[in-house]
């Protein structure tokens, strides 16, 4: 029997000082039962909890650890940068290196601004879209999560969905009156919305591959359709690539699907595990930002040298500047191995599972129906997921503690890790 005595003690202590004992709700295990464990060490594909239990990690701090945890190149880059100071609040060379690299890798991004979180990046991109178009309305899709900024916390995904009350308390109706929520992958709903709001929509913000209600993919032609309909109406298309950026391809989901959005947001991978976000796009839009233009946006630690060093080390080690011999073939191979193994395990156990995957992002839903949007995802058997999650945890495999999160694979996940995961899943599925 696995002991988690130290984690339990820490959780009891945490509850005294931190709401719910966690600094982000999805960590609280409320959707899967039991209490969260505490981690004080991570390396490669593994984390170790404070009781010394080793776990193969498919959360990877929600995406940033694409090279696995504590990659030597990142650790040495952070140490080296820290020797010169942790923050200047004055422009530093690494900000320029990062900005130039992102602009080189993502053709739709001609200028970019760093922030300290994905929430900030998405919030700022929305403000910029409204400032540039002089319009107020924004379309988002149910189940998509763009951080916890007031105007976007409407039918949001991730933790908001996990808790079953997609709309958050504390958000005045006035703050969301300009937010229109539509179902993802539904062309007619978007057409009807633009017809009813001609020349009033500032933009669409969308996760090109939604990873905050589990994971599902855009139907063929859907992203192209969003690009066309926004262009035709003078609205902007904003790709939220906080999760997919530099994970699904060197140039993110927009490279993989061949789309050029007007604005994009980034985070996670570009911070290598440190607090970073970014938003960028067409120069004439970005130049509306202060100090050049009237749209205000700021941040004490934006472009912080330590975070830039960590993010640059992450990107460099991924091989993003190399068209061949970069990490994406390996990530694809590991994802394919995991998918094949989990599909076989479900089939052998006679358990209906819909397994969605895009590169190194994945999600298994306990349903025999396809999952193309959050309504489909909500039909899956969450009780089965709960049992599956706990069974895998007891076998040393850590999945995201919610059906409504994506799983992530790193270059540090070995074939043996994945074989161990598949064995654990096969054993767990026989108990469901």
Among 242, 285, 308, 371, interactor with ligand KE4 by CB under 6 A: 242
Among 112, 243, 249, 424, interactor with ligand KE4 by CB under 6 A: 243
Q: How far is the CB of 406 from ligand KE4 (least distance, A)?
A: 7
Active-site residue identified among 46, 57, 58, 145? 145
Among 111, 113, 127, 146, interactor with ligand KE4 by CB under 6 A: 146
List binders of ligand KE4 among 221-240 (CB under 6 A).
240
Taking alpha carbons only, the member of 252, 256, 273 closest to residue 57 is 273
Q: Which is nearer to ligand KE4, 145 or 194 (CB)?
A: 145
- Check if 191 is active-site: no
Q: Answer left, alpha or beta for residue 238, where phi above 0 means left and psi between -120 and 50 means alpha.
A: beta
List binders of ligand KE4 among 153-212 (CB under 6 A).
158-159, 207, 211-212
Sign, CA dihedral 14-306-208-340, equals negative
Placement of tokens 């650890």 in the chain: 65
Q: How far is the CB of 1 from ligand KE4 (least distance, A)?
A: 29
Backbone angles phi and psi of 231, in degrees to 5: -60, -45
Taking alpha carbons only, the member of 205, 112, 99 closest to residue 151 is 205
When asked if residue 376 is in the footprint of ligand KE4 (CB under 6 A), the reply is no
Taking alpha carbons only, the member of 243, 268, 10, 230 closest to residue 133 is 230
List binders of ligand KE4 among 115-134 (CB under 6 A).
117-119, 122
Active-site residue identified among 49, 57, 233, 240? 240
Query: How is residue 316 written in tokens?
Result: 């460099």
When asked if residue 405 is in the footprint of ligand KE4 (CB under 6 A), the reply is yes
Query: Cis peptide before 124, with omega less than 30 degrees from 0?
Result: no
**Residues binding ligand KE4: what is the number (CB under 6 A)?**
21
Sign, CA dihedral 112-116-121-123, equals negative
Among 267, 280, 311, 335, interactor with ligand KE4 by CB under 6 A: 267
Q: How many CB atoms lie within 10 A of CB 181?
A: 20
Q: Which is nearer to ligand KE4, 27 or 413 (CB)?
A: 27
Rounded CA-CA distance 424/252 in Å is 31
Q: Would you give the binding string for ligand KE4 spanning residues 276-295, x where CB under 6 A is met?
A: -x------------------
When asked if residue 56 is in the footprint of ligand KE4 (CB under 6 A), the reply is no
Q: Answer left, alpha or beta for residue 70, where phi above 0 means left and psi between -120 and 50 means alpha.
A: left
Q: How many CB atoms lie within 10 A of CB 129?
A: 27
Q: Which is nearer to ligand KE4, 105 or 242 (CB)?
A: 242
Among 145, 365, 372, 385, interactor with ligand KE4 by CB under 6 A: 145
Backbone angles phi and psi of 46, in degrees to 5: -115, 155
- Check if 347 is active-site: no
Among 10, 14, 26, 289, interactor with ligand KE4 by CB under 6 A: 26
* 44 secondary structure, DSSP code: B
Query: Angle at the Cα of 305 (from 299 to 306), degrees rounded to 5?
Result: 110
Active-site residue identified among 46, 111, 140, 268? 268
Q: What is the helix (H) or strand (E) element at residue 237, kind and residue range?
A: strand 236-240
Among 29, 37, 58, 62, interactor with ligand KE4 by CB under 6 A: 62
- Check if 216 is active-site: no
| CB-CB contact of 144 with 206 (8 Å) | yes
Question: What residues are annotated to the active site?
Answer: 145, 240, 268
- Give residues in contact with ligand KE4 (CB under 6 A): 24, 26, 62, 117-119, 122, 145-147, 158-159, 207, 211-212, 240, 242-243, 267, 277, 405
């Amino acid at each position: 029997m696995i002991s988690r005595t130290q984690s339990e003690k820490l959780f009891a202590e945490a509850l005294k000082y931190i709401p719910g004992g966690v600094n982000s709700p999805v960590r609280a295990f409320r959707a899967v039962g039991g209490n969260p464990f505490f981690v004080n060490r991570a390396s490669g594909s593994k984390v170790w909890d404070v009781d010394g239990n080793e776990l193969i990690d498919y959360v990877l701090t929600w995406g940033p650890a694409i090279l696995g945890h504590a990659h030597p190149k990142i650790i040495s880059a952070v140490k080296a940068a820290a020797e010169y100071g942790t923050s200047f609040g004055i422009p530093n060379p690494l900000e320029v290196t990062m900005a130039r690299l992102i602009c080189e890798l993502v053709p739709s991004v001609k200028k970019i601004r760093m922030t300290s979180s994905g929430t900030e990046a998405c919030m700022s991109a929305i403000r910029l879209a409204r400032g540039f178009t002089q319009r107020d309305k924004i379309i988002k899709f149910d189940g998509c999560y763009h951080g916890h900024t007031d105007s976007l916390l409407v039918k949001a995904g991730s933790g908001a969905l996990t808790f079953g009350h997609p709309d958050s308390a504390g958000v005045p109706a006035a703050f969301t009156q300009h937010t229109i929520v539509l179902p993802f992958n539904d062309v007619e709903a978007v057409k009807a919305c633009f017809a009813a709001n001609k020349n009033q929509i500032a933009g669409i913000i969308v996760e090109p591959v939604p990873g905050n209600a589990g994971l599902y993919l855009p139907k063929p032609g859907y992203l192209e359709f969003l690009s066309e309909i926004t262009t035709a109406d003078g609205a902007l298309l904003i790709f939220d690539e906080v999760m997919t950026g530099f994970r699904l391809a060197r140039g993110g989901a927009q490279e993989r699907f061949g789309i050029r959005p007007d604005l994009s947001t980034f985070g996670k991978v570009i911070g290598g595990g440190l607090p970073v976000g970014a938003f960028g796009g067409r120069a004439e839009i970005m130049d509306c930002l202060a100090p050049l233009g009237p749209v205000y946006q700021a941040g004490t630690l934006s472009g912080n040298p330590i975070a830039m060093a960590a993010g640059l080390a992450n990107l460099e080690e991924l091989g993003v500047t190399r068209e061949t011999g970069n990490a994406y073939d390996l990530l694809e191979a590991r994802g394919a191995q995991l998918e094949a193994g989990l599909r076989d395990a479900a089939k052998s156990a006679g358990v209906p599972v819909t397994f969605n995957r895009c590169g190194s992002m994945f999600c298994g839903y306990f349903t025999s129906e396809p999952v193309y949007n959050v309504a489909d995802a909500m039909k899956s058997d969450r009780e089965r997921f709960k049992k599956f999650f706990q069974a895998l945890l007891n076998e040393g495999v850590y999945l995201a503690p919610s059906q409504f999160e994506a799983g992530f694979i790193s270059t540090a996940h070995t074939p043996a890790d994945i074989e161990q995961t598949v064995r654990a899943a096969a054993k767990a599925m026989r108990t469901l």
